[in-house]
Structure 1
Amino acid sequence: MTSRPITEDDLNGFVDQTLDPARTAEVAAYLEAHAEVAQRVATYRAQREELRAAFAPVIEEPVPSELDLRRLIEARHRPRTSARWSMAAAAVVLLAIGAAGGWSMRGMDLMPTEGIQALSREATASYAVYAPDHIRPVEVRADDASALDDWTSQRLGRAVTIPDLKSAGYRLMGGRVVPTEHGPAALFMYDDDKGTRLVMLARPMKAEGNAPMSPHEQGDVNGFSWADNGLGYSLVGASSADILRPLANEARRQIRSQVRGA
Protein backbone atom coordinates (compact mmCIF):
# COMPACT_ATOMS: atom_id res chain seq x y z
CA MET A 1 0.00 0.00 0.00
CA THR A 2 1.48 3.35 -1.03
CA SER A 3 1.63 6.13 1.54
CA ARG A 4 1.61 8.82 -1.12
CA PRO A 5 -1.04 9.38 -3.80
CA ILE A 6 -0.11 8.31 -7.31
CA THR A 7 0.21 11.46 -9.42
CA GLU A 8 0.38 12.09 -13.14
CA ASP A 9 4.11 12.68 -12.71
CA ASP A 10 4.41 9.20 -11.23
CA LEU A 11 2.61 7.73 -14.24
CA ASN A 12 4.91 9.68 -16.58
CA GLY A 13 7.94 8.41 -14.69
CA PHE A 14 6.60 4.85 -14.81
CA VAL A 15 6.30 5.02 -18.60
CA ASP A 16 9.75 6.62 -18.96
CA GLN A 17 11.26 4.15 -16.42
CA THR A 18 12.75 6.95 -14.32
CA LEU A 19 11.21 6.04 -10.95
CA ASP A 20 13.19 4.39 -8.19
CA PRO A 21 12.41 0.67 -7.62
CA ALA A 22 10.20 1.30 -4.58
CA ARG A 23 8.03 3.88 -6.34
CA THR A 24 7.89 1.73 -9.47
CA ALA A 25 6.43 -1.11 -7.37
CA GLU A 26 3.87 1.25 -5.82
CA VAL A 27 2.75 2.52 -9.23
CA ALA A 28 2.56 -1.03 -10.60
CA ALA A 29 0.33 -2.04 -7.69
CA TYR A 30 -1.87 1.00 -8.29
CA LEU A 31 -2.25 0.14 -11.98
CA GLU A 32 -3.17 -3.43 -11.08
CA ALA A 33 -6.05 -2.09 -9.02
CA HIS A 34 -7.13 0.56 -11.57
CA ALA A 35 -7.62 -1.11 -14.94
CA GLU A 36 -8.76 2.04 -16.73
CA VAL A 37 -5.62 3.95 -15.76
CA ALA A 38 -3.49 0.91 -16.62
CA GLN A 39 -5.06 0.80 -20.08
CA ARG A 40 -4.28 4.48 -20.61
CA VAL A 41 -0.68 4.06 -19.45
CA ALA A 42 -0.24 1.03 -21.72
CA THR A 43 -1.50 3.06 -24.68
CA TYR A 44 0.95 5.87 -23.90
CA ARG A 45 3.78 3.36 -23.61
CA ALA A 46 2.86 1.78 -26.93
CA GLN A 47 2.79 5.20 -28.61
CA ARG A 48 6.19 6.00 -27.07
CA GLU A 49 7.68 2.79 -28.43
CA GLU A 50 6.22 3.44 -31.89
CA LEU A 51 7.80 6.86 -31.97
CA ARG A 52 11.13 5.45 -30.88
CA ALA A 53 10.93 2.77 -33.56
CA ALA A 54 10.06 5.37 -36.18
CA PHE A 55 13.09 7.49 -35.30
CA ALA A 56 15.47 4.56 -34.79
CA PRO A 57 16.87 4.53 -38.36
CA VAL A 58 17.74 8.21 -38.08
CA ILE A 59 19.25 7.91 -34.61
CA GLU A 60 21.45 4.98 -35.61
CA GLU A 61 22.98 6.84 -38.56
CA PRO A 62 26.43 8.30 -37.93
CA VAL A 63 26.37 12.00 -37.10
CA PRO A 64 27.48 14.06 -40.14
CA SER A 65 30.78 15.85 -39.58
CA GLU A 66 29.13 19.23 -40.02
CA LEU A 67 26.83 18.39 -37.09
CA ASP A 68 29.63 17.32 -34.75
CA LEU A 69 28.82 18.80 -31.33
CA ARG A 70 32.40 19.95 -30.69
CA ARG A 71 32.45 21.88 -33.94
CA LEU A 72 29.10 23.41 -33.20
CA ILE A 73 30.32 24.62 -29.81
CA GLU A 74 33.46 26.10 -31.34
CA ALA A 75 31.43 27.82 -34.00
CA ARG A 76 29.10 29.23 -31.36
CA HIS A 77 32.02 31.01 -29.67
CA ARG A 78 33.28 32.55 -32.88
CA PRO A 79 32.57 36.29 -33.27
CA ARG A 80 30.33 35.76 -36.27
CA THR A 81 28.14 32.69 -36.54
CA SER A 82 27.02 31.88 -40.03
CA ALA A 83 23.45 31.01 -40.87
CA ARG A 84 24.63 27.54 -41.88
CA TRP A 85 25.93 26.75 -38.39
CA SER A 86 22.75 28.10 -36.83
CA MET A 87 20.67 25.80 -39.00
CA ALA A 88 22.90 22.83 -38.13
CA ALA A 89 22.54 23.46 -34.42
CA ALA A 90 18.78 23.70 -34.79
CA ALA A 91 18.78 20.38 -36.65
CA VAL A 92 20.61 18.65 -33.77
CA VAL A 93 18.13 20.03 -31.26
CA LEU A 94 15.15 18.93 -33.35
CA LEU A 95 16.62 15.44 -33.80
CA ALA A 96 17.12 15.07 -30.06
CA ILE A 97 13.58 16.23 -29.37
CA GLY A 98 12.16 13.86 -31.98
CA ALA A 99 14.09 10.87 -30.65
CA ALA A 100 13.31 11.32 -26.99
CA GLY A 101 10.07 13.22 -26.98
CA GLY A 102 7.59 10.46 -27.67
CA TRP A 103 6.07 10.68 -24.18
CA SER A 104 5.68 14.44 -24.37
CA MET A 105 3.57 13.95 -27.52
CA ARG A 106 1.14 11.61 -25.74
CA GLY A 107 -1.78 13.99 -26.17
CA MET A 108 -1.55 13.96 -29.95
CA ASP A 109 -3.91 11.70 -31.84
CA LEU A 110 -1.28 9.58 -33.60
CA MET A 111 -3.35 6.42 -33.94
CA PRO A 112 -6.54 5.51 -35.78
CA THR A 113 -9.53 6.03 -33.53
CA GLU A 114 -11.98 3.69 -35.28
CA GLY A 115 -12.11 0.41 -37.10
CA ILE A 116 -9.87 -2.62 -37.21
CA GLN A 117 -6.66 -0.63 -36.71
CA ALA A 118 -7.94 0.82 -33.44
CA LEU A 119 -8.90 -2.69 -32.30
CA SER A 120 -5.38 -3.92 -33.11
CA ARG A 121 -3.86 -1.11 -31.07
CA GLU A 122 -6.15 -1.83 -28.10
CA ALA A 123 -5.31 -5.54 -28.20
CA THR A 124 -1.59 -4.77 -28.20
CA ALA A 125 -2.02 -2.37 -25.27
CA SER A 126 -3.99 -5.00 -23.31
CA TYR A 127 -1.29 -7.57 -24.01
CA ALA A 128 1.36 -5.17 -22.68
CA VAL A 129 -0.58 -4.71 -19.44
CA TYR A 130 -1.75 -8.24 -18.64
CA ALA A 131 0.50 -10.79 -20.39
CA PRO A 132 3.59 -10.03 -18.22
CA ASP A 133 1.52 -10.20 -15.01
CA HIS A 134 2.45 -13.29 -12.99
CA ILE A 135 0.23 -12.47 -10.02
CA ARG A 136 -3.22 -11.94 -11.50
CA PRO A 137 -3.14 -12.00 -15.31
CA VAL A 138 -6.81 -13.04 -15.51
CA GLU A 139 -9.84 -12.20 -13.40
CA VAL A 140 -11.77 -15.43 -13.99
CA ARG A 141 -9.86 -18.67 -14.48
CA ALA A 142 -10.52 -21.20 -17.21
CA ASP A 143 -11.95 -23.75 -14.78
CA ASP A 144 -14.93 -21.40 -14.40
CA ALA A 145 -15.40 -20.86 -18.12
CA SER A 146 -19.19 -20.66 -17.87
CA ALA A 147 -18.94 -17.69 -15.50
CA LEU A 148 -16.40 -16.06 -17.80
CA ASP A 149 -18.69 -16.59 -20.78
CA ASP A 150 -21.69 -15.14 -18.93
CA TRP A 151 -19.72 -12.14 -17.65
CA THR A 152 -18.17 -11.16 -20.97
CA SER A 153 -21.39 -11.67 -22.91
CA GLN A 154 -23.36 -9.58 -20.43
CA ARG A 155 -20.86 -6.70 -20.46
CA LEU A 156 -20.51 -6.67 -24.25
CA GLY A 157 -24.23 -7.15 -24.84
CA ARG A 158 -23.52 -10.08 -27.16
CA ALA A 159 -22.42 -13.68 -26.83
CA VAL A 160 -18.69 -14.08 -27.34
CA THR A 161 -17.17 -17.41 -28.37
CA ILE A 162 -14.04 -18.43 -26.47
CA PRO A 163 -11.81 -20.35 -28.91
CA ASP A 164 -10.21 -23.62 -27.81
CA LEU A 165 -6.54 -23.65 -28.92
CA LYS A 166 -5.42 -26.76 -27.03
CA SER A 167 -4.81 -28.68 -30.26
CA ALA A 168 -2.27 -25.98 -31.18
CA GLY A 169 -0.53 -26.25 -27.82
CA TYR A 170 -2.12 -23.28 -26.04
CA ARG A 171 -4.39 -23.75 -23.04
CA LEU A 172 -6.93 -21.18 -21.95
CA MET A 173 -5.81 -19.46 -18.73
CA GLY A 174 -9.01 -17.44 -18.31
CA GLY A 175 -10.04 -13.89 -19.02
CA ARG A 176 -11.48 -10.61 -17.88
CA VAL A 177 -13.39 -7.56 -19.08
CA VAL A 178 -11.12 -4.62 -19.94
CA PRO A 179 -11.89 -1.01 -20.85
CA THR A 180 -11.14 0.40 -24.30
CA GLU A 181 -11.79 3.68 -26.04
CA HIS A 182 -14.90 2.05 -27.52
CA GLY A 183 -16.37 0.48 -24.41
CA PRO A 184 -15.78 -2.83 -22.64
CA ALA A 185 -13.93 -5.65 -24.37
CA ALA A 186 -13.47 -9.32 -23.52
CA LEU A 187 -9.87 -10.44 -23.00
CA PHE A 188 -8.98 -14.13 -23.16
CA MET A 189 -5.44 -15.28 -22.33
CA TYR A 190 -3.67 -18.45 -23.46
CA ASP A 191 -0.38 -20.07 -22.44
CA ASP A 192 1.76 -22.83 -23.95
CA ASP A 193 3.04 -23.88 -20.48
CA LYS A 194 6.50 -22.67 -21.52
CA GLY A 195 5.98 -19.03 -20.68
CA THR A 196 4.61 -17.88 -24.03
CA ARG A 197 1.27 -16.13 -23.70
CA LEU A 198 -1.30 -15.02 -26.23
CA VAL A 199 -4.16 -12.58 -25.77
CA MET A 200 -7.36 -12.41 -27.78
CA LEU A 201 -9.43 -9.24 -27.48
CA ALA A 202 -13.04 -9.11 -28.63
CA ARG A 203 -15.48 -6.19 -28.65
CA PRO A 204 -18.39 -4.76 -30.65
CA MET A 205 -17.29 -2.65 -33.61
CA LYS A 206 -18.67 0.82 -34.20
CA ALA A 207 -16.90 0.86 -37.58
CA GLU A 208 -15.87 -1.94 -39.92
CA GLY A 209 -18.33 -4.46 -38.53
CA ASN A 210 -17.02 -6.87 -41.15
CA ALA A 211 -13.33 -6.81 -42.03
CA PRO A 212 -10.96 -9.42 -43.45
CA MET A 213 -8.13 -10.72 -41.33
CA SER A 214 -5.12 -8.43 -41.42
CA PRO A 215 -1.71 -8.61 -39.74
CA HIS A 216 -0.29 -5.91 -37.52
CA GLU A 217 2.98 -5.35 -35.70
CA GLN A 218 4.02 -3.06 -32.88
CA GLY A 219 7.50 -3.48 -31.48
CA ASP A 220 7.98 -7.13 -30.53
CA VAL A 221 4.24 -7.85 -30.54
CA ASN A 222 2.56 -9.28 -33.64
CA GLY A 223 -1.10 -9.95 -34.21
CA PHE A 224 -3.99 -10.63 -36.56
CA SER A 225 -7.32 -8.79 -36.40
CA TRP A 226 -10.64 -9.23 -38.14
CA ALA A 227 -14.35 -8.47 -37.69
CA ASP A 228 -17.48 -10.55 -38.35
CA ASN A 229 -21.10 -9.54 -37.85
CA GLY A 230 -20.29 -6.48 -35.79
CA LEU A 231 -17.77 -8.13 -33.45
CA GLY A 232 -14.04 -7.48 -33.77
CA TYR A 233 -11.33 -9.92 -32.73
CA SER A 234 -7.58 -9.51 -32.39
CA LEU A 235 -5.12 -12.26 -31.45
CA VAL A 236 -1.73 -10.91 -30.35
CA GLY A 237 1.49 -12.20 -28.84
CA ALA A 238 5.26 -11.91 -28.78
CA SER A 239 5.56 -14.64 -31.42
CA SER A 240 6.27 -14.44 -35.12
CA ALA A 241 3.49 -13.80 -37.59
CA ASP A 242 4.06 -17.29 -39.04
CA ILE A 243 3.20 -18.83 -35.67
CA LEU A 244 0.23 -16.57 -34.96
CA ARG A 245 -1.43 -16.81 -38.38
CA PRO A 246 -2.66 -20.44 -38.08
CA LEU A 247 -3.78 -19.77 -34.50
CA ALA A 248 -5.81 -16.76 -35.61
CA ASN A 249 -7.27 -18.78 -38.49
CA GLU A 250 -8.31 -21.54 -36.10
CA ALA A 251 -9.85 -19.05 -33.67
CA ARG A 252 -11.81 -17.42 -36.49
CA ARG A 253 -12.94 -20.84 -37.79
CA GLN A 254 -14.30 -21.81 -34.36
CA ILE A 255 -16.04 -18.48 -33.88
CA ARG A 256 -17.70 -18.65 -37.28
CA SER A 257 -18.69 -22.28 -36.73
CA GLN A 258 -20.29 -21.38 -33.40
CA VAL A 259 -22.24 -18.52 -34.98
CA ARG A 260 -23.53 -20.75 -37.78
CA GLY A 261 -24.56 -23.42 -35.29
CA ALA A 262 -26.39 -21.00 -33.02
Structure 2
Amino acid sequence: MITGRPIGEDDLQAYVDQALEPARRDEVKAYLDRHPDIAARVAGYAAQRDALRDALKPIAEEPVPPELSLARLIEARERRRFRPGSRAVAAAVLCLALGGVSGWSARSLTLPPETGIIALGEEAAASYAVYAPDRKRPVEIDAGGRDELIRWVSNRLQHPVSVPDLATAGYRFMGGRLVATAHGPAGLFLYDDDKGIRIAVLVRPMAVEKEATMSELNYGSVAGYAWANDGIGYSLVSEAPAQMLHPLADEVRRQISGKI
Protein backbone atom coordinates (compact mmCIF):
# COMPACT_ATOMS: atom_id res chain seq x y z
CA MET A 1 0.00 0.00 0.00
CA ILE A 2 1.38 3.44 -0.98
CA THR A 3 1.64 5.67 2.10
CA GLY A 4 2.31 8.98 0.39
CA ARG A 5 4.51 10.07 3.30
CA PRO A 6 7.55 12.21 2.43
CA ILE A 7 10.83 10.32 2.18
CA GLY A 8 13.07 11.35 5.07
CA GLU A 9 16.60 10.59 6.22
CA ASP A 10 15.28 7.83 8.50
CA ASP A 11 13.75 6.12 5.46
CA LEU A 12 17.04 6.33 3.57
CA GLN A 13 19.00 4.87 6.47
CA ALA A 14 16.44 2.08 6.91
CA TYR A 15 16.65 1.40 3.16
CA VAL A 16 20.42 0.97 3.44
CA ASP A 17 19.92 -1.33 6.44
CA GLN A 18 17.25 -3.32 4.54
CA ALA A 19 14.84 -2.67 7.40
CA LEU A 20 11.84 -1.25 5.50
CA GLU A 21 8.51 -2.93 4.87
CA PRO A 22 8.19 -4.01 1.21
CA ALA A 23 5.73 -1.25 0.28
CA ARG A 24 7.83 1.49 1.87
CA ARG A 25 10.98 0.04 0.32
CA ASP A 26 9.38 0.31 -3.13
CA GLU A 27 8.45 3.94 -2.43
CA VAL A 28 11.99 4.78 -1.41
CA LYS A 29 13.39 3.01 -4.47
CA ALA A 30 11.07 4.98 -6.74
CA TYR A 31 12.15 8.17 -4.99
CA LEU A 32 15.84 7.33 -5.52
CA ASP A 33 15.16 6.60 -9.19
CA ARG A 34 13.84 10.17 -9.48
CA HIS A 35 16.74 11.70 -7.52
CA PRO A 36 20.06 10.30 -8.80
CA ASP A 37 22.12 12.64 -6.60
CA ILE A 38 20.51 11.23 -3.45
CA ALA A 39 20.72 7.71 -4.90
CA ALA A 40 24.49 8.17 -5.27
CA ARG A 41 24.74 9.20 -1.62
CA VAL A 42 22.70 6.19 -0.50
CA ALA A 43 24.86 3.91 -2.64
CA GLY A 44 27.89 5.34 -0.83
CA TYR A 45 26.29 4.51 2.53
CA ALA A 46 25.67 0.94 1.36
CA ALA A 47 29.23 0.57 0.10
CA GLN A 48 30.55 1.91 3.40
CA ARG A 49 28.37 -0.56 5.31
CA ASP A 50 29.72 -3.47 3.29
CA ALA A 51 33.29 -2.24 3.67
CA LEU A 52 32.92 -1.95 7.44
CA ARG A 53 31.57 -5.48 7.60
CA ASP A 54 34.56 -6.73 5.63
CA ALA A 55 37.04 -4.71 7.70
CA LEU A 56 35.58 -5.88 11.01
CA LYS A 57 34.96 -9.48 9.94
CA PRO A 58 38.08 -10.80 11.76
CA ILE A 59 36.73 -9.37 15.02
CA ALA A 60 33.31 -10.93 14.48
CA GLU A 61 34.97 -14.31 13.98
CA GLU A 62 36.84 -14.20 17.28
CA PRO A 63 35.92 -17.05 19.67
CA VAL A 64 33.60 -16.33 22.56
CA PRO A 65 35.63 -15.54 25.71
CA PRO A 66 35.49 -18.39 28.27
CA GLU A 67 33.93 -16.14 30.89
CA LEU A 68 30.93 -15.64 28.60
CA SER A 69 30.28 -19.31 27.95
CA LEU A 70 26.62 -20.24 28.26
CA ALA A 71 27.29 -22.76 31.05
CA ARG A 72 29.07 -20.17 33.21
CA LEU A 73 26.37 -17.59 32.66
CA ILE A 74 23.62 -20.01 33.61
CA GLU A 75 25.56 -20.97 36.73
CA ALA A 76 25.94 -17.30 37.65
CA ARG A 77 22.23 -16.75 37.09
CA GLU A 78 21.36 -19.57 39.46
CA ARG A 79 23.62 -18.12 42.15
CA ARG A 80 21.94 -14.73 41.86
CA ARG A 81 18.38 -15.98 41.49
CA PHE A 82 17.18 -14.68 44.84
CA ARG A 83 19.02 -11.36 44.75
CA PRO A 84 16.92 -8.22 44.08
CA GLY A 85 16.97 -7.39 40.41
CA SER A 86 19.02 -10.46 39.57
CA ARG A 87 16.53 -11.91 37.09
CA ALA A 88 16.78 -8.88 34.81
CA VAL A 89 20.56 -8.83 35.05
CA ALA A 90 20.84 -12.53 34.21
CA ALA A 91 18.52 -12.15 31.24
CA ALA A 92 20.63 -9.34 29.84
CA VAL A 93 23.85 -11.30 30.29
CA LEU A 94 22.30 -14.40 28.74
CA CYS A 95 21.24 -12.41 25.68
CA LEU A 96 24.79 -11.17 25.32
CA ALA A 97 26.12 -14.72 25.50
CA LEU A 98 23.69 -15.96 22.87
CA GLY A 99 24.78 -13.17 20.58
CA GLY A 100 28.38 -14.09 21.24
CA VAL A 101 27.76 -17.65 20.07
CA SER A 102 27.11 -16.24 16.60
CA GLY A 103 30.40 -14.40 16.50
CA TRP A 104 30.93 -12.24 19.61
CA SER A 105 29.96 -9.29 17.45
CA ALA A 106 26.91 -8.67 19.64
CA ARG A 107 29.16 -6.87 22.11
CA SER A 108 28.73 -3.80 19.89
CA LEU A 109 25.01 -3.80 20.73
CA THR A 110 25.83 -3.08 24.37
CA LEU A 111 28.00 -0.07 23.60
CA PRO A 112 27.04 3.46 22.52
CA PRO A 113 27.78 4.41 18.91
CA GLU A 114 31.41 5.31 18.41
CA THR A 115 32.19 9.00 18.02
CA GLY A 116 35.25 11.18 17.74
CA ILE A 117 38.59 9.71 16.75
CA ILE A 118 37.35 6.10 16.86
CA ALA A 119 34.53 6.88 14.41
CA LEU A 120 36.94 8.83 12.20
CA GLY A 121 39.30 5.85 12.00
CA GLU A 122 36.44 3.47 11.18
CA GLU A 123 35.26 5.76 8.38
CA ALA A 124 38.77 5.99 6.96
CA ALA A 125 39.16 2.20 7.05
CA ALA A 126 35.77 1.74 5.37
CA SER A 127 36.55 4.25 2.63
CA TYR A 128 39.96 2.65 2.10
CA ALA A 129 38.34 -0.78 1.74
CA VAL A 130 35.95 0.59 -0.91
CA TYR A 131 38.27 2.70 -3.06
CA ALA A 132 41.90 1.64 -2.54
CA PRO A 133 41.48 -1.82 -4.19
CA ASP A 134 39.81 -0.25 -7.26
CA ARG A 135 42.33 -0.48 -10.10
CA LYS A 136 40.20 1.41 -12.64
CA ARG A 137 38.81 4.43 -10.83
CA PRO A 138 39.97 4.72 -7.24
CA VAL A 139 39.72 8.53 -7.32
CA GLU A 140 37.14 10.98 -8.70
CA ILE A 141 39.70 13.68 -9.52
CA ASP A 142 43.26 12.59 -10.31
CA ALA A 143 46.51 14.28 -9.34
CA GLY A 144 46.36 16.57 -12.37
CA GLY A 145 43.25 18.23 -10.93
CA ARG A 146 44.78 18.85 -7.51
CA ASP A 147 43.59 22.48 -7.29
CA GLU A 148 40.07 21.56 -8.38
CA LEU A 149 39.98 18.76 -5.79
CA ILE A 150 41.12 21.10 -3.01
CA ARG A 151 38.41 23.65 -3.90
CA TRP A 152 35.74 20.93 -4.07
CA VAL A 153 36.59 19.35 -0.73
CA SER A 154 37.16 22.70 1.01
CA ASN A 155 33.77 24.00 -0.15
CA ARG A 156 31.90 20.89 0.97
CA LEU A 157 33.64 20.72 4.35
CA GLN A 158 33.32 24.51 4.75
CA HIS A 159 36.94 24.54 5.84
CA PRO A 160 40.15 25.03 3.85
CA VAL A 161 42.05 21.79 3.34
CA SER A 162 45.40 20.96 1.80
CA VAL A 163 46.75 17.82 0.18
CA PRO A 164 49.80 16.44 2.04
CA ASP A 165 52.90 15.76 -0.05
CA LEU A 166 54.37 12.32 0.69
CA ALA A 167 56.72 12.18 -2.30
CA THR A 168 59.85 12.28 -0.15
CA ALA A 169 58.59 9.12 1.59
CA GLY A 170 58.11 7.41 -1.78
CA TYR A 171 54.35 7.84 -2.12
CA ARG A 172 52.83 9.54 -5.16
CA PHE A 173 49.60 11.50 -4.86
CA MET A 174 46.95 9.71 -6.96
CA GLY A 175 44.01 12.06 -6.42
CA GLY A 176 40.92 12.01 -4.28
CA ARG A 177 37.18 12.42 -3.88
CA LEU A 178 34.39 13.27 -1.48
CA VAL A 179 33.00 10.33 0.51
CA ALA A 180 29.91 9.98 2.66
CA THR A 181 30.23 9.26 6.38
CA ALA A 182 27.78 9.04 9.24
CA HIS A 183 29.05 12.47 10.31
CA GLY A 184 28.76 14.23 6.95
CA PRO A 185 31.01 14.53 3.90
CA ALA A 186 34.74 13.87 4.13
CA GLY A 187 37.67 14.29 1.80
CA LEU A 188 39.62 11.17 0.82
CA PHE A 189 43.12 11.44 -0.66
CA LEU A 190 44.93 8.38 -2.05
CA TYR A 191 48.64 7.69 -2.53
CA ASP A 192 50.67 4.75 -3.83
CA ASP A 193 54.31 3.68 -4.15
CA ASP A 194 56.33 1.70 -6.69
CA LYS A 195 55.22 -1.56 -5.07
CA GLY A 196 51.54 -0.77 -5.44
CA ILE A 197 50.95 -0.15 -1.73
CA ARG A 198 48.20 2.40 -1.30
CA ILE A 199 47.63 4.83 1.55
CA ALA A 200 44.50 6.88 2.26
CA VAL A 201 44.15 10.14 4.19
CA LEU A 202 40.63 11.03 5.33
CA VAL A 203 39.74 14.52 6.55
CA ARG A 204 36.46 15.90 7.96
CA PRO A 205 35.14 18.34 10.60
CA MET A 206 34.77 16.93 14.13
CA ALA A 207 31.67 17.46 16.27
CA VAL A 208 33.44 15.96 19.29
CA GLU A 209 37.12 15.51 20.16
CA LYS A 210 37.99 18.63 18.18
CA GLU A 211 41.49 18.46 19.63
CA ALA A 212 42.92 14.95 19.96
CA THR A 213 46.40 13.52 20.04
CA MET A 214 47.40 10.87 17.54
CA SER A 215 45.99 7.41 18.27
CA GLU A 216 46.87 4.08 16.66
CA LEU A 217 43.88 2.20 15.23
CA ASN A 218 43.52 -1.31 13.83
CA TYR A 219 40.66 -2.79 11.80
CA GLY A 220 41.74 -6.27 10.76
CA SER A 221 43.98 -5.94 7.72
CA VAL A 222 43.70 -2.14 7.73
CA ALA A 223 45.67 -0.13 10.29
CA GLY A 224 46.48 3.51 10.78
CA TYR A 225 46.41 6.63 12.92
CA ALA A 226 43.87 9.36 13.63
CA TRP A 227 44.02 12.74 15.33
CA ALA A 228 42.24 16.12 15.37
CA ASN A 229 43.45 19.70 15.28
CA ASP A 230 41.40 22.92 15.38
CA GLY A 231 38.14 21.05 14.89
CA ILE A 232 39.29 19.04 11.87
CA GLY A 233 40.01 15.31 12.08
CA TYR A 234 42.57 13.40 10.05
CA SER A 235 43.15 9.68 9.64
CA LEU A 236 45.87 7.91 7.67
CA VAL A 237 45.20 4.22 6.95
CA SER A 238 46.60 1.42 4.82
CA GLU A 239 47.13 -2.31 4.68
CA ALA A 240 50.81 -1.59 5.31
CA PRO A 241 52.22 -2.37 8.81
CA ALA A 242 51.31 0.19 11.47
CA GLN A 243 54.98 0.85 12.33
CA MET A 244 55.58 1.93 8.75
CA LEU A 245 52.57 4.25 8.83
CA HIS A 246 53.56 6.14 11.97
CA PRO A 247 56.24 8.34 10.35
CA LEU A 248 53.90 9.01 7.43
CA ALA A 249 51.14 10.10 9.82
CA ASP A 250 53.66 12.33 11.61
CA GLU A 251 54.62 13.91 8.28
CA VAL A 252 50.98 14.56 7.35
CA ARG A 253 50.37 16.15 10.74
CA ARG A 254 53.52 18.25 10.43
CA GLN A 255 52.47 19.61 7.05
CA ILE A 256 48.87 20.32 8.06
CA SER A 257 49.26 21.68 11.55
CA GLY A 258 52.93 22.58 11.75
CA LYS A 259 53.50 20.37 14.79
CA ILE A 260 53.95 16.71 15.78
Do the two structures share a fold, i.e. TM-score over 0.5? yes
Cα gap change, 1:43/1:248 in structure 2, threshold over 3 Å: closer, same or farther?
Answer: same
Q: Indicate yes or no: 2:45 matched with 1:42.
A: no
Q: CA deviation at 1:9?
A: 11
Paired position in structure 1 for 2:90: none
Unaligned runs of 5+ in 2: 1-13, 19-38, 67-93
Q: Specify the SS of the correspondent of 2:213.
A: strand
Paired position in structure 1 for 2:224: 223
Cα gap change, 1:9/1:145 in structure 2, threshold over 3 Å: closer, same or farther?
Answer: closer
Paired position in structure 2 for 1:248: 249
- Residue by residue, what CA displacement relative to the aligned partner does 1:42-83 show, whole Å, maximum 9, x if unpaired? 334424653642542449x9xxxxxxxxxxxxxxxxxxxxxx
Paired position in structure 2 for 1:201: 202
Q: CA deviation at 1:39?
A: 3.5
Mapped partners of 1:110, 1:50: distance in 2: 16
Structure 2 counterpart of 1:50, one-letter code: L
Structure 2 counterpart of 1:209, one-letter code: K
Mapped partners of 1:109, 1:135: distance in 2: 40
Cα gap change, 1:129/1:11 in structure 2, threshold over 3 Å: closer, same or farther?
Answer: farther
Mapped partners of 1:249, 1:210: distance in 2: 16
Mapped partners of 1:211, 1:178: distance in 2: 22
Q: Indicate yes or no: 2:200 matched with 1:232.
A: no
Mapped partners of 1:232, 1:45: distance in 2: 21
Structure 1 counterpart of 2:128, one-letter code: Y
- Residue by residue, what CA displacement relative to the aligned partner does 1:159-201 show, whole Å, maximum 9, x if unpaired? 0121000000101000001111111100000001321101100
Determine if contact 2:201/2:236 at 8 Å carries over to the other structure: yes
Unaligned runs of 5+ in 1: 1-7, 13-32, 62-89
Normalised to the residue count of structure 2, the TM-score between the two structures is 0.66
Mapped partners of 1:140, 1:49: distance in 2: 25
Cα gap change, 1:188/1:163 in structure 2, threshold over 3 Å: closer, same or farther?
Answer: same
Runs of 4 or more, structure 1, over 2 Å off, are 8-12, 33-59, 93-97, 107-113
Determine if contact 2:55/2:222 at 8 Å carries over to the other structure: no
Mapped partners of 2:54, 2:132: distance in 1: 19
Cα gap change, 1:247/1:50 in structure 2, threshold over 3 Å: closer, same or farther?
Answer: same
Q: Specify the SS of the correspondent of 2:102.
A: helix
Paired position in structure 2 for 1:87: none
Identity of aligned residues (%): 45
Q: Specify the SS of the correspondent of 1:124.
A: helix
* RMSD between aligned residues: 3.4
